[in-house]
Structure 1
Amino acid sequence: MQFGYTETCLGHDTGERHPETPDRLRAIRQQLSRRHGVEYVSADPASVSAVAAVHEQEYVDDLQAFCADGGGNWDPDTVASEGTWDAALASAGLAQWAAERALAGDDGRRTPFSLGRPPGHHAVGDDAMGFCFFNNAAVAAQSVIDDGAADSVAIFDWDVHHGNGTQDIFYDRGDVFYASIHEQGLYPGTGDADEIGSGAGERATFNVPLASGAGDPDYLLAWETIGAAVERFDPDLLLVSAGFDAHRHDPISRMRVSTEGYALLTDAVRETAADADAGLGFILEGGYGLDTLSESIATVHETFDGRSPVADDGEPTAATRDLLDDLRDRHDL
């Protein structure tokens, strides 16, 4: 894979006890150093105008001033430092790079993966929250639409938390499809099955809130259903908001996805993108166990480098099957 990376993202200093730490990127790089075929690419930071295409200008200006004044707690969970402004623009720029390279035809061993931080999927149009300042996936999707490189974009969010910000930004839009598999009831408490979009965006939002303890078979069945909706949407580009905090050993969730499960999910997403003739790119979101985060990203890389994932012989839970039956009805699949 090609990994978008810049040292600027290490300048976002959240303090000693915060789970979203620069050590996440250091651990990923260390793990990838042991793997074959890894390529790092730098990218220009996002422009303020690109960020303001999905965020209110007043909020963007307030964040810049807040960081210039030294930062601090934006809210109890979301911490900024003087370096956060540049890191947030760099992270959004890396997401733009991933989208642009995917649309340019980079695939297979050159599939782009943006290793930016801070993450983005909780950032709403007028506020930061949940460790996120700019919505990286939303900036990337809007940029390629505005540039005329894509008419439609699908965003698949497999982070354990619902990407409320991405959903909100595109909720009434028909040119961006947003799908999320997340742990029901976990922060921020959004992403119910009946949140399916509105107006021109009706049925362009697809939420799969799984019960705590869901594992590989549940996620794979969920993607089978989402994938059918993605193929019907027929996007030019499929972006994965790739958080790895649904891992069974992540410290802040109760889901049971294995490292191999991420390889299986990657393989399934890749197949759907190919069937839809859509470019495919990955954008880092959460994941707070350094070992599980770095090992999971390494197995995503190896899946594109020729390693075949080992099939899971488990079965989805009855609750997952019932939920997906309901979702197929809601979305007319």
Structure 2
Amino acid sequence: MRFGYSAECLEHDPGSRHPESPDRLRAIRQALAKRHGVEYVEADPIDESAARAAHDADYVREFREFCASGGGQWDPDTVAVEATWDAALRSAGQAVWAAEAALDGASGRETPFALGRPPGHHAVADDAMGFCFLNNAAIAAEAMIDDGRAERVAIVDWDVHHGNGTQDIFEDRGDVFYASIHERGLYPGTGEAGEIGTGDGEGATVNLAYPSGAGDPAYVAAIDEVFAPLLDEFGPDLLLVSAGFDAHEHDPISRMSVSTEGYGVLAARLRDLADRSDAGFGFVLEGGYGLDTLSESITTVNEVFGGYDPVEPEGSVDDRARSVIDEVRAAHGLNG
């Protein structure tokens, strides 16, 4: 794979006790150093106008000025330093690069993966939250639509937390499809099955809020039984994965049970869905807070795009997860 990366993203340092640490990127780089065929690209940062295309202009100005004054505690979870503004512009730039490369036809070993931080999917149109300041995937999707590179963009979010920010930005839009698998009851507490979008966007938001303990079979079933038919109907020009790895069975801040191999299966499944729509395909890093599990999972995804065929999960979907799938299928008219 080709990984978007910039050392500037390491300068965003919310403190030694904060789980969203620069060590996340260092661990990923260290793990990938042991693999052949890995290439890094340092994309240009976005300019402020690109941020304003997805976010409220007053909020973007407030964020810039907050960092310029030295930063601090934006909210109990979300911390900025002076360098966070430049790191956030660079992180969003990596996401835009991934979207552009995907639409240019990059695939296989050249499939783009943006390794930016701070992450983005909790950043709503007019506020930062959940470690996130600028919504990287949303900015990339908006840029591709505004530039005429894509008419329809899909974002599939497998981070263990619901991407409330991405949903907030696009929920009344019919040209961006947002689908999330996340743990019910976990921060930020949004993303129930009945949240399907509003107005022109009705039906283009999809949420599977699984109970704790859901693992590989449930995640694969979400893609096969819910996302696949809806994405086939939507027909995206671009499919971006908001790729958090905190649903891993050994991640320290969640209670889900996705395996390292399972992430490889999910990546392969979504690649195949993108291929069916002849859509560009790429990844944007979100969460994942166990350094070993994060780096090992990304390494497995990288191997999938180098030709590795991941092992399909054994076992069936348990009754609690099955009820969620049935509820979401009903909400989107898939049970008829």
Secondary structure of the 1:76 match is: coil
The equivalent residue for 2:308 is 307
The residue number in structure 2 matching 1:294 is 295
- After TM superposition, the structure 1 = structure 2 runs for residues 210-225 of structure 1, keeping only pairs within 5 Å, are 210-224=210-224, 225=226
Give the superposition deviation at 1:323: 1.7
Q: Which residue of 2 aligns with 1:134?
A: 134
1:59 aligned partner: 59
State the secondary structure of the residue aligned to 1:100. helix
* 1:79 aligned residue: 79
Q: What's the secondary structure of 1:282's corresponding residue?
A: strand
1:179 aligned partner: 179
Partner of 1:91: 91
State the shift of 1:332 in Å. Answer: 1.7
Structure-1 residue corresponding to 2:251: 250
Unaligned runs of 5+ in 1: none
Partner of 1:205 in structure 2?
A: 205
Letter in 1 for 2:41: V
Q: Which amino acid aligns with 1:322?
A: S
Aligned residue for 2:266?
A: 265
Cα deviation per residue 1:179-236 (whole Å; 9 max; x = unaligned)?
Answer: 0000001000000000000110000000000000000000000111212111110000
Q: Is the partner of 2:200 in helix, strand or coil?
A: helix
- For residue 116 of structure 2, what is the amino acid of its counterpart? G
How much does 1:140 deviate? 0.1
Distance 1:32 1:307 in 2: 15
Determine the C-alpha separation between the residues in 1 that align with 2:200 and 2:72.
39
Report what 2:332 is aligned to: 331
My pick for the range that moved more, 317-326 or 253-262, is 317-326
State how far apart, in whole Å, the 1-side matches of 2:324 and 2:88 are: 36
Q: Does 1:281 align with 2:292?
A: no
**Structure 1 equivalent of residue 240 of structure 2:** 239
Aligned to 2:158: 158
Secondary structure of 1:53 counterpart: helix
Q: Give the superposition deviation at 1:104.
A: 0.5
Deviations 1:59-101 (A, max 9, x none): 1111111111111100010000011000000000000000000
**How far apart in 2 are the matches of 1:320 and 1:228?**
19
User: Larger deviation: 35-44 or 283-292?
Assistant: 35-44
Taking only aligned residues, the RMSD between alpha carbons, in angstroms, comes to 0.6
Alignment of 1:26-37 (within 5 A): 26-37=26-37
Q: Secondary structure at the match of 1:19?
A: coil
Give percent identity, aligned residues only: 66
**Structure 1 residues 74-131: Cα deviation after superposition (integer angstroms, max 9, x where no partner):** 0010000011000000000000000000001001111000000000000001100000
Q: How far apart are residue 326 of structure 1 and its match?
A: 2.1
Q: Which amino acid aligns with 1:110?
A: E
Superposition TM-score, scaled by structure 1 size: 0.99
Which amino acid is 1:242 matched to?
Answer: A
Q: Which runs of 5+ in 2 are unaligned?
A: none
Counterpart AA for 1:316:
V
SS at match of 2:263: helix
Q: TM-score, normalised by structure 2?
A: 0.98
Structure 1 segments, 4+ long, off by >3 Å, are none
The one-letter code matched in structure 1 to 2:247 is A
Inter-partner Cα distance in structure 2 for 1:322 and 1:192 = 13
Secondary structure at 2:26's aligned position in 1? helix
Cα distance in 2 for residues equivalent to 1:319 and 1:19:
30
Residue matched to 1:23: 23
